[in-house]
Amino acid sequence: MLFKLTDEQLMIQAMVREFARKELAPTAAERDRTKDFPAANLKKMAELGLLGMAIPPEHGGEGADTISYVLALSEIAYSCAATAVVMSVHNSIVCESIDRFGSDAQKKRYLKPLAQGRIIGAFGLTEPHAGSDPSAQATTATRDGDVYFLNGSKRFTTTGRNSGLVIVTAKTDESVGHRGISAFILEKDFPGFTVGQDEDKMGLRASDTTDLLFDNCRVPAENLLGSEGDGFKLAMTALDSGRIGIAAQSVGVAQAAFDAAVKYAKSRDQFGRKISKFQGLRWMIADMATEIEAAKQLMLSAAAMKDRGENYTKQASMAKLFASEMVNRVTAQALQIHGGYGFTKDYPVERFYRDARVFTIYEGTSEIQRVVISNQILKDKRKP
Ligand code: CAA
């Protein structure tokens, strides 16, 4: 293995694995059925420090490195992918953005409750007509004295309903494209802020995905995150980090599907022997293991670059692109190995297959990742 994990990273991984397999895995299928938000589990995760992993200790967080974070997130995803996406958005998009762009007062007010899980965070960027192209968003923020009035809506907001705080982007100047987008920290009880429809999704069903509606929503000017016009950059920076998280979720779900497929292949008899004896299946198992390992290495290399303070935009998109496509192949193969049983709810592989489907879509589709990767390559002025 290219990466030698430190004792501390291995300890965090082992601790989260034990917790997740004991506390999350046994109830994941039931949550998928009922769509119950994992509030009690998130509380326990906060006690383990999993909701403030990157937050500095002076603000109540763990100050953990990104490698520890992705190892932890993969373990949560292995046991419950719906819980993992809540953890991912909360840590890497919300907490990190406030830590990076927030004023001292904002950090003091929000980071500790976020780390303690007293508030779960969400991020509102996507709109009904602005998904891959967030610069086309229509939500506006108009300043009047020390208040901004937000008008518009957001779509597909992870944890839109169950969050206590949402970072929302809106146009403060409509004449300058993406440079006129600003970001705001909205508390749920701000007047004029309501949660709209919940999506009825194919997978990740215990994680709510909602519309957010702003009707002259009053936001104190002190809740502007960064300066006016910083919103697009803030979102891109947050997504770089978030995309390593999607790679981690992909690796976790793929590993769960793979382990289930190997277990099934070793127990199922056909033609008088275990199906694991057939070369057709053995080659599938070898390919799946190789793909998971490749995705893991990309995930770790992006995380290591981030930890070293290097520009990791390209690596994060590569990790997201490869890992999210990998998990779709691996869960499909794992289901195939289960035969007809894989198509039923008797085995968890059917849920893994459904949960994985959105990984090539959210936080930037595979097509957008290819745009980011090629942009990074072609703008590089160093000689090839
Ligand atoms: N870090 C910092 N700044 C960045 C950046 C990065 N990774 N990428 C771009 N920027 C900056 C550029 O430097 C540029 O700044 P200046 O104008 O000041 O020079 C500015 O952003 C615009 O850059 P581009 O011209 O490259 O931007 P673009 O309009 O061509 O679009 C894009 C780039 C990659 C397509 C981008 O729009 C994108 O990532 N789209 C996908 C959005 C996405 O992933 N949406 C899913 C959100 S997930 C969600 O909403 C659900 C949830 O619950 C989390």
pLDDT in tens, 70-121: 999 999 999 999 999 999 999 999 999 999 999 999 999 999 999 999 999 9
Check whether 383 has a pLDDT greater than 70: no
User: Comparing C-alpha atoms, which of 227, 210, 153, 217 is closest to residue 186?
Assistant: 217
Residues 6+ apart with CB under 8 A from 79: 20, 21, 24, 25, 28, 252, 256
Mutate to test the pocket of ligand 1, among 233, 310, 378 (most ligand atoms within 8 A of CB): 233
Q: Which residues line ligand 1 (CB under 6 A)?
A: 89, 93, 123, 125-126, 132-135, 156-158, 178-179, 232-233, 236-237, 239-240, 313, 362-364, 368, 371-372, 375
Residue 193: per-residue pLDDT: 98
- In degrees and rounded to multiples of 5, residue 303 shows phi and psi of -65, -40
Beta strands of 206-248 (E only): which ranges?
A: 209-220, 224-225
Residue pair 35/209 in contact by the 8 Å Cβ criterion: no
Check whether 250 has a pLDDT greater than 60: yes
Catalytic residue positions?
Answer: 363
**Token pair for residue 122?**
């969400």
Give CA angle at 235 (92, 104), nearest 5°.
70
Check whether 4 has a pLDDT greater than 60: yes
pLDDT (tens digit per residue) in 166-186: 999 999 999 999 999 999 999
Check whether 21 has a pLDDT greater than 60: yes
Residue pair 116/51 in contact by the 8 Å Cβ criterion: yes
Q: What is the mean pLDDT of the chain?
A: 97
Residue 380: per-residue pLDDT: 82
Q: How confident is the model at residue 345 (pLDDT cuts 50, 70, 90)?
A: very high
